[in-house]
Structure 1
Amino acid sequence: MIPFVRLFLVCLLCLLGAVAGAQEDSQSWYEAEDLNTGLGAAPDNLDRSTPRAAMRSFIDLTDQERFNWAAHILNLSDLPVGQQAEDGPRLAAMLASVIERRIWVNWSGLSARPDAMVESEAGNNPRAGETRRNIRIELVEVNGQAYEVRLARYKGSGQDPVWLFTPQTVEDVPGLFAEFGPRRFERFIPQSLKTRAGPLRAWEWIALPLYLAILGLLLWGTNRFVLMLSKKTSRAFLRQAIDRAAMPLALMVTAFVAQLFLNLAVSFSGPVTNVVRPALVIIMVSGFGIAALRVVDAILDRITLRVVGDIDDTRSLEKRELYTSIFALRRIIVLFMVGFAIVYVLLRLNLFESIGMTLLASAGVLTVLLGIAGQAVLGNILASLQIALAKPVRIGDSILFEDNWAYVESIYYTFIRLRTWDERRIVVPVRYFVSKPFENWSVRDARIYSTIKLVLDHSADIGELREKFIELAKAKDGVIDHDKLCAYVSGQTSNGQEMSFYVMSPDPSTGWETEMQLREDLLNYIRENHPDWWPRERVMSEGGATSMSFDAS
């Protein structure tokens, strides 16, 4: 009894395994009753067992101009049987031209397995181990419409499964050929120059350097023409804007003409097309973006000079805030233009889908790399935006930063440029600047107290000096708020007393100059009227008498 049960279980397991295998096989291909019956029997040596073999066979046959054989690698099921023999070779020739001129075949991405199983040596592909019966070779955009070139696995009645170009791809071939096929100029090329010489045809090795040379001359000529137009402009800010935008505009025009030439006159092979076309798109977008930014810069500079003028702490708080807001607006415009350009290029080149999975799969690595390599740059940009929004310091503010009295001259993305009173420039990373304490002498207004300190003998009369100081200060244009003028004895030692004189000025620059002038005036008054007030050094003699001498200092 037991051997019979064992035998029954073994048979049951075998039966279930066979059913499962049949179900798995049925999911590995598409069933097709009539598969290219109008073409007749396929050649015996035609290898269509894997995606890579099917693509290699198609390219080899079309290079040999055996289009009737290459037609067997197309799924012509949507064509009437009577037209397959006539239309198949013609469609194969068209598709071969499209692949040659537009598609750069990624051979490493084409599976060499009949089931096209996704393999991943590193084991980080989420689809590893998955069998496929449909593979996309390329996504091509024509007039805003996306077309796919695909291979799929089909099994006809009583036939082995084979990989063929899908019926949808075959249907799209005429439209793709009209867009990417031979151009008018190529009709005049001798047949001898159409032979292949490496990855390109012979005529392309001659035409490509000429093409680049003509584009270089066009770039130079367009730039010179735009600069000539700027000289004829009467308005200064327009001339400045055109001068700044001359080269980006020339790049944009040159890339546009180059793209037009590729669309109308000549079409290079896939390796060149896949490099040149994306480069032209990037150049056009970059040229337009840079030109727009430079025009905006010129307009903002014009507004700044007209409304604000040369900025320093003598300007009103409103004008300094306006100037800082203009710089913030410039940064926002730059960020917007860069983001728009990146998104447009990715959409135009259909890169979102191709890089999406890669970015997701390597998100952890990218996060670490950005966190290490881009920490300083991103930190400075965020700190710059923080200053632009919170405005703890504005362009034109007078500050004391690390014992340097300076004006905030410019606030950029990653650094702040300070102009010292003696016309030096201090460049400070924004992140470092906001992490250090600094004195903003213009945070509310530009007024500032200046302090004049003198060390005099104990016999100096502070009352007389106070009256003289007030008299001298009221005569100065750089002194405001006369009711706040004051003078006090602020210190005392055995050699003398320290006197401090306080004066209010409208801004630090005027305050510094006024302080120097008043110090000179006070010293002149003491020198001419009371030379005995200079500080003296007192020395005790051996007999107990006290002798005095003037302090050489």
Structure 2
Amino acid sequence: MRHLMIGILTVVATAGAAIVLVEILHWMTTRLGRRSELAADLARTAHRPFLATVTLFAVQQAVRWQAGDFPGRGPLLHLLVILFIAAFAWLVAALVLVLEDAALARWRTDVPDNLKRRRLKTQVVILRRVTVAAIVVLTLGVVLMTFPDIRALGASVLASAGLVSVIAALAAQSTLGNVFAGVQLAFSDAVRVDDVVVVEGEWGRIEEITLTYVAVQIWDDRRLLLPTSYFTTKPFQNWTRTGSAVLGTAELDVDFSTDIEALRAELRAVCEGSSLWDGRVCVLQVTDAVGGNVRLRALVSAADAAALWDLRCLVRERLVAYVWQHQPDALPRLRADLESAEPTPARLSPPPRSEPSNDAQVFSGGRDAEERGARFGGPDGDTAASALPGFKQED
């Protein structure tokens, strides 16, 4: 009994000393955290797992060397070993989270021109998830190997590892495919966190990328959850893969008598008077003239997809208002030719011809337009022209 009491007091004293030591280190780290964000994050995240790890290790060593032999000593030591393994895994996972927070704080994404930062954020998040999953699997494996019966069973399992791996691969084919797709997305740079994409006919932003699914925040705050393998097996639109600046259109049907140059001037005035326009592209073109109407397409540019959406709506609204107020005869109409005995009225004189301005050309007439035309051009001018929208070769 005397040796048992001494052993209990030794265990209590050792645990108390371990707790005091950890609290002193925590206090020092917290003080240091006033000047270092990394130290502050370490004090917040790793305090509890570090306390559990050090305390369990101290108690285990005290029981092993000072408590002597007593009933239930073996199971107690085994339990302490399992708890220590779990606490140590918790500590490693917490340190991984601290490193992730440090990397993300250094490379913030809420700044302009954040392409490289979003790529790094995606890779860090995926690697952290893979690391945490690996830590959990290894921890379970190490805990199971502490049982002698399971350790003996491991030899026979390893002998039939080929068959087991085949069965496991067939059973978890979909899950493993999504996991490998998540790792592929992290390093292929096909899609990143905060990218603006169009998937399944929905326009939204990549909110989260995990090992098994990707969360897309739709423009109306809905969430579209897709398996990660979707982005490696199916086509989708990525509006911000090489930059956040994008082009957008606003289409309008008007009558043949419309004064196009006046509408072109109005479009230029709308763009220059709006802070949504980034100053790159402001073009009005006639893209179709069939069915009794003329189709106008206003092509404008903005710094990002959100600004582009508002700019397109603004351009469409202002052009409609301009036609209604200043060119009411340009509204779409239906014409009918009625047979009558009256003489045919004189033909209307066509509007005077004029050279199109730069606001009428997308692939020529201006530095930005010339560069765009060079990117979409090829060695054969006819072949390059036939690839443009609306091109139709005449016989």
Per the normalisation by structure 1, the TM-score is 0.51
The structure with the largest alpha-carbon Rg is 1
Shift of 1:450: 0.5
Partner of 1:520 in structure 2?
317
**Counterparts of 2:137 and 2:323 in 1: how far apart (Å)?**
67
**Counterparts of 2:231 and 2:274 in 1: how far apart (Å)?**
36
Partner of 1:310 in structure 2?
110
Shift of 1:496: 2.8
Out of 257, 269, 273, the position equivalent to 1:475 is 273
Out of 256, 265, 272, the position equivalent to 2:67 is 265
Out of 378, 381, 402, the position equivalent to 2:200 is 402
The answer to whether 1:435 aligns with 2:233 is: yes
Contact 1:454 1:500 in 2 (8 A): yes
Partner of 2:282 in structure 1?
485
Going from structure 1 to structure 2, the CA distance change for 1:364 and 1:347 (only over 3 Å counts) comes to closer
Shift of 1:512: 1.4
Q: State the one-letter code of the partner of 1:442.
A: T
Could you tell me which runs of 5 or more consecutive residues in structure 2 were left unpaired when the two chains were aligned. 343-395
User: SS at the partner of 2:92?
Assistant: helix
Out of 56, 59, 62, the position equivalent to 1:255 is 56
Partner of 1:28 in structure 2?
none
Going from structure 1 to structure 2, the CA distance change for 1:413 and 1:269 (only over 3 Å counts) comes to farther
The answer to whether 1:446 aligns with 2:244 is: yes
Q: Give runs of aligned pairs for residues 144-543 of structure 1, distance below 5 A.
A: 184-185=3-4, 234=34, 238-260=39-61, 262-263=63-64, 264-265=66-67, 269=71, 273-274=74-75, 276-310=76-110, 315-331=113-129, 333-334=131-132, 337-338=135-136, 341=139, 345=143, 354-363=152-161, 366-480=164-278, 482=280, 484-494=281-291, 496-537=293-334
Contact 1:242 1:295 in 2 (8 A): no
Residues matched between the structures, number: 329
Contact 2:204 2:216 in 1 (8 A): yes
Q: State the one-letter code of the partner of 2:260.
A: I
Contact 2:278 2:301 in 1 (8 A): yes
Q: Give the root-mean-square deviation of aligned CA atoms.
A: 4.0
Q: Deviations over 1:446-496 (max 9, x none)?
A: 2211001112233222222122212322333333354x4321222345453
Going from structure 1 to structure 2, the CA distance change for 1:383 and 1:455 (only over 3 Å counts) comes to same
Shift of 1:411: 1.7
Shift of 1:390: 1.5
Q: Deviations over 1:408-432 (max 9, x none)?
A: 2222222222222333332222123
Contact 2:130 2:211 in 1 (8 A): no
Report percent identity of matched pairs. 26
Shift of 1:316: 2.9
Going from structure 1 to structure 2, the CA distance change for 1:373 and 1:183 (only over 3 Å counts) comes to farther
Q: Deviations over 1:263-311 (max 9, x none)?
A: 23365656x834x444433332222222332233234224323432437
**Counterparts of 1:248 and 1:342 in 2: how far apart (Å)?**
17
User: SS at the partner of 1:463?
Assistant: helix
User: SS at the partner of 2:217?
Assistant: strand
Q: Give runs of aligned pairs for residues 63-82 of structure 1, distance below 5 A.
A: none
Q: State the one-letter code of the partner of 1:430.
A: T
Going from structure 1 to structure 2, the CA distance change for 1:336 and 1:498 (only over 3 Å counts) comes to same
Shift of 1:359: 0.7
Q: State the one-letter code of the partner of 1:367.
A: S
Shift of 1:542: 11
Going from structure 1 to structure 2, the CA distance change for 1:405 and 1:357 (only over 3 Å counts) comes to same
